[in-house]
A and B are shown apart, each in its own frame.
Chain A
Amino acid sequence: MSEHDLTFDAMGSHVRLLIGEPGSGVAPAEEAAERAREFVLEFDAALSRFRPDSQLCALNEDPRERVPASDLLREAVRAGLWAAERSDGLVDPTLVREIEHAGYVASRAGMSGLPLDEALREAPARRPARPRPERRWREVEVDEEAGEIVRPPGLRFDSGGTGKGLAADLVAGALRGYSRFIVDCGGDIRIGGADALVSPYEVFVEHPLSGERAHVLRLGSGGVATSGLNVRIWKSEDGRYAHHLLDPASGEPAWTGLIGATALGDTAVEAETLSKAALLSGPQRGRELLADRGGLLVHDSGRVELVGPLAVAPRIRIPSLEGTG
């Protein structure tokens, strides 16, 4: 069972592809991996908030209400709106002004964040994040017939909340003819192929405080993603610790009692959405959000809590011969 293994940098993260044997009439795995790499790089160039020449930046600066958009940009906006609906507004793609105000105005790829444990000591009282009452993402529409995105001029869109998951899902869609594959876009992962159902992939969950492996999942299909505070911690101009996961209601970094959340989903976009929503919701609501598909919550204390199907310990009943007389 050989797999082609390709790793490269994109979207401010490492991307890794493992692709198994091709079906009949399907290109060799090496060729598919190279095509996938080119696609991810194009995806990054088109949808990065930090590239002034990206399609996303062009959309956000366009003064028209209706803006012609490529298939990829429309797909990204659709994914962002879907995530907002799925999370009831917690994963809000219209918080560009707020995230810039918090200090996240340029890519932090390659930058080491400040220590999370220090930030936790100085963080304000923990409370669950809430959706922004205006729910401005509902003002954004995708007009597929016209190939346009419709929104009030000045309302900026950020595909960052679902970007890596969407990239993983789109690459996975092109790998359906292979026996097994895993697409890892910076920790947002999509798995597929019939052989993966038989021999699942092992996916380790990194602990946000220690950096060690906190758990291992054996996955045969679907998506898994992790959100955490540990990789992007900085100090804002007023000297307070900040990170990139905002409470939509306040526009401020959310301190909810959780520092990490890993979620399973049908797709990487769903997993990414659920993991962000769970982390923003805090322990109680986070548990409810992950109860159906399963996941992990990492509390401020570092405690790892398994949720949903993962919390159910496997029960092995050994067949026995019973006799009487």
Chain B
Amino acid sequence: MTERGRIRRPGPGAVIWGSIVLFAVLFALLTYRLSVGADPSLSGSASAAAQPVQVRKVIKRRVVTTIVPTPGANTVTSGPATSASYASGAITTSAS
């Protein structure tokens, strides 16, 4: 049997506990950094705070007009009568 063959693999309990401890340590470290305002995810943008922020707001304004005729009432628009708009046989209101 060689020396290499004597190396013992860690048991499953050691692996599990090792993982938990490692997670706890890293979690504690990150929590500490967040609590002091040193968020590692923002660490690269420290200089960006000095840059001007451009906020673009787009307002789309849409005017919708609905004409609901009142029963029995006129719906009317009007305009000046031009020669172009007059056709022979047009309906005309006049004194009679």
Measuring CB to CB, which residues of chain A are less than 8 angstroms from any residue of chain B?
5, 12-13, 16, 18, 164, 182, 184, 186-189, 197, 200-206, 208, 212-232, 260, 262, 264-266, 293-294, 306, 309-310, 314, 317, 319-325
Inter-chain pairs besides A16-B91, A216-B85, A220-B76, 14 sampled, C-beta below 8 Å:
A12-B96, A187-B92, A187-B96, A188-B93, A202-B91, A203-B91, A206-B93, A217-B78, A222-B73, A222-B75, A230-B95, A260-B95, A294-B74, A321-B61
State how many angstroms separate the Cβ of A320 from the closest Cβ of chain B. 6
CB closest residue in chain B, given A309 = B76
State how many angstroms separate the Cβ of A114 from the closest Cβ of chain B. 14
A220 lies within 8 A of B95 (CB): no
State how many angstroms separate the Cβ of A154 from the closest Cβ of chain B. 30
B75 lies within 8 A of A216 (CB): no
CB closest residue in chain B, given A222 = B74
State how many angstroms separate the Cβ of A213 from the closest Cβ of chain B. 4
Residues of A within 8 A of B81 (CB): 204-205, 212-216
State how many angstroms separate the Cβ of B68 from the closest Cβ of chain A. 10
Residues of B within 8 A of A309 (CB): 76
- B50, CB-defined interface residue at 8 Å: no
B69, B74, B90 interface centre (most CB from chain A within 10 Å): B74
Task: Name 10 A/B residue pairs within 8 A (Cβ), A-sorted.
Answer: A164-B96, A187-B94, A189-B93, A202-B85, A217-B76, A217-B77, A224-B93, A228-B94, A319-B61, A319-B63
State how many angstroms separate the Cβ of A203 from the closest Cβ of chain B. 5
B74 lies within 8 A of A293 (CB): yes
A204 lies within 8 A of B91 (CB): yes
Tell me whether chain A's interface is mostly helix, strand or loop, or mixed.
strand
- B8, CB-defined interface residue at 8 Å: no
State how many angstroms separate the Cβ of A163 from the closest Cβ of chain B. 11
A323 lies within 8 A of B57 (CB): yes
Partner among A18, A200, A229, A325 whose Cβ is within 8 Å of the Cβ of B75: A200
B96 lies within 8 A of A203 (CB): no
Residues of A within 8 A of B75 (CB): 197, 200, 219-222
A323 lies within 8 A of B95 (CB): no
State how many angstroms separate the Cβ of B11 from the closest Cβ of chain A. 62
Give the distance in Å from the alpha carbon of A182 to the alpha carbon of B90 in the complex: 12
Residues of A within 8 A of B93 (CB): 184, 187-189, 203-206, 217, 224-226, 262
